[in-house]
Structure 1
């Protein structure tokens, strides 16, 4: 049941498991009472990245920056407006459901709210087994596998016939994780998997996901607000702002020496465990709110809030470029570091 542990990310070579190129999602505007149509919302605006087998990429940023929309497009819960998603060398961007089915079992998702993502009318056995039934397994095979998965995620297999409301939030999230593992996926998109849980339970779920990654060789796209959690579980970090990636790189490069002004501001808000260092450090306060994705500013979308903004920032959109020599980090800023 348990696959060999994944090789360290640094040692992996070859084509990426997941390749996202220029991914865009525009939600159409609605018609007002006067008959006019409101402008569309560009939730994701040209996102590109690669993910290797067994690697974890963290997607971070403020609410509304497009993290969850990106994750849902990766697993084909949303149809992208443009761009492409390739999984294990195959372009899955616009596959029909029948053609997508062989890939679907290798692409799974864990949702933010464990209780709202579980059908309250179904038992845990049915919730976990449903993906297996869709893939053609018998009822007996699916139920046996569901019991194995409950034990794997730290639940009591004898509780398999209980309903979601009979479990705590942390236990319900474990059920969601078990469901995502039912078809032996290679990639799991975890959308804020611990944000709805108590702090002590968060640590348990994070440790569980780390253990499953090692034992099963999983790759994760880990979407989160909590930068401390992202640093704990991720190999690389992508920082999003208003639908775009503004910085992406190895977590040590990003956390130890952030290059983009927005990344610096985010990290300055992370509490430090040392009280003296916490009191002594300077916090970066961003002025104003993020612009509306319905009418983003020209040039660099961060320039209305950026302390370094100059004339070029107001007219030219910066592209992701390699940072300092010797780094793999990319930064979309005219004046990084």
Structure 2
């Protein structure tokens, strides 16, 4: 079996909200019982609406946030309760590329200083040649070392963020909406860069996105999140061709068809996304689902294999029938 780089078992991340004098304190269940695996050589897409818990899950997976409960394994080692210096080896295995390159780069530091930071955090001092090599890997050059983030375009800043993540030679990059803040023309360039780096360096990726077209372009496997849980996962070609969960089917129905005169039946979901402070009983999607029945309100469905498949799973009592 292919080596596992990341495993999450029953991971939950809850945030406490301090109550006002007239209101009790509350708990936001941002991630609520997720099992997730990334193997060497994979590119996994993590998709869902805003507020579904994707970014929180990414931060827990990189140990930027502590899980409330559950287990986080990186490189086969349980790192759930690691702190401080014990996390240094973890940082050499998993790195993160953030959504907004302008916010994630220190405006008071030059590019050379920004790229030196990961080396210093690991107790080493990089040579100028190492910094130049990092820039060249992402399509920039030596002359950019002395410049500051505000002197670059959005796409160039994201390339710097990718170069910083590559500084410690990680095996896995978790990219949190890596192209959502960029122009469409630049998005393709950054996605092509990630694909080239994957082939050149043997990287694995988790790509967090709400744009299903982006995920389809880069991912070999897809996991769909809704209200802090994964409701469907499987090989991307199977999930896109025959979604089993009603939520996934509704998301895909909203993707534009890039062919004139070709239309897709649109599934419009009714109601609002429930609050993660008080999620529905049973299936979290039942309040908006067009197939919900009484059983959906009593017990949460678990991820089970879709009929006729060995890797495609959905958490639904009434999955969509397989296509012929």
TM-score range, shorter chain: over 0.9
C-alpha contact (below 8 Å) 2:245/2:315 kept by paired residues: yes
C-alpha contact (below 8 Å) 2:75/2:93 kept by paired residues: no
Correspondent of 1:98 among 67, 75, 85: 85
Question: In the TM superposition, what is the alpha-carbon distance from 1:275 to its structure 2 partner?
Answer: 1.9
Q: Please name the residue that 2:217 is paired with.
A: 232
C-alpha contact (below 8 Å) 1:29/1:37 kept by paired residues: no
Unpaired segments ≥5 residues, structure 1: 1-12
Question: In the TM superposition, what is the alpha-carbon distance from 1:325 to its structure 2 partner?
Answer: 2.6
SS at match of 1:245: strand
Correspondent of 2:49 among 59, 62, 81: 62
CA distance in 2: counterparts of 1:335 and 1:49, whole angstroms: 23
Correspondent of 1:50 among 18, 37, 44: 37
Q: Please name the residue that 1:311 is paired with.
A: 294
Q: Please name the residue that 1:40 is paired with.
A: 27
CA distance in 1: counterparts of 2:41 and 2:309, whole angstroms: 24
Q: Please name the residue that 2:16 is paired with.
A: 28
Please list, as runs of the form range in 1=range in 2, the aligned pairs for 1:1-337 lying within 5 A after superposition. 13-34=1-22, 36-138=23-125, 141-278=126-263, 281-337=264-320
Over residues 9-40 of structure 1, what are the superposed CA-to-partner deviations in whole Å (9 max), with x where a residue is unaligned? xxxx3441111111100001212133x43310
C-alpha contact (below 8 Å) 1:129/1:145 kept by paired residues: no
SS at match of 1:26: strand
Question: In the TM superposition, what is the alpha-carbon distance from 1:142 to its structure 2 partner?
Answer: 4.2
Moved over 3 A (4+): none
SS at match of 1:275: coil
CA distance in 2: counterparts of 1:215 and 1:102, whole angstroms: 23
CA distance in 2: counterparts of 1:286 and 1:327, whole angstroms: 29
SS at match of 2:307: coil
CA distance in 2: counterparts of 1:143 and 1:102, whole angstroms: 24
Unpaired segments ≥5 residues, structure 2: none
SS at match of 2:237: helix
Over residues 265-323 of structure 1, what are the superposed CA-to-partner deviations in whole Å (9 max), with x where a residue is unaligned? 00001111112112xx2100000111000011111111111000011011121011111
Q: What do you get for the CA RMSD once the two structures are aligned?
A: 1.0
Question: In the TM superposition, what is the alpha-carbon distance from 1:102 to its structure 2 partner?
Answer: 1.4
State TM-score, norm by structure 2.
0.97
CA distance in 1: counterparts of 2:199 and 2:234, whole angstroms: 22
CA distance in 2: counterparts of 1:322 and 1:259, whole angstroms: 10
Over residues 93-113 of structure 1, what are the superposed CA-to-partner deviations in whole Å (9 max), with x where a residue is unaligned? 111211111121221000000
CA distance in 2: counterparts of 1:305 and 1:70, whole angstroms: 23
- Tell me the number of residue pairs that the alignment of Structure 1 and Structure 2 aligns: 320
CA distance in 1: counterparts of 2:98 and 2:157, whole angstroms: 11
Question: In the TM superposition, what is the alpha-carbon distance from 1:135 to its structure 2 partner?
Answer: 1.2
State TM-score, norm by structure 1.
0.93
C-alpha contact (below 8 Å) 2:138/2:162 kept by paired residues: yes
CA distance in 1: counterparts of 2:2 and 2:271, whole angstroms: 44
CA distance in 1: counterparts of 2:42 and 2:169, whole angstroms: 16
Question: In the TM superposition, what is the alpha-carbon distance from 1:147 to its structure 2 partner?
Answer: 1.2
CA distance in 2: counterparts of 1:223 and 1:96, whole angstroms: 25
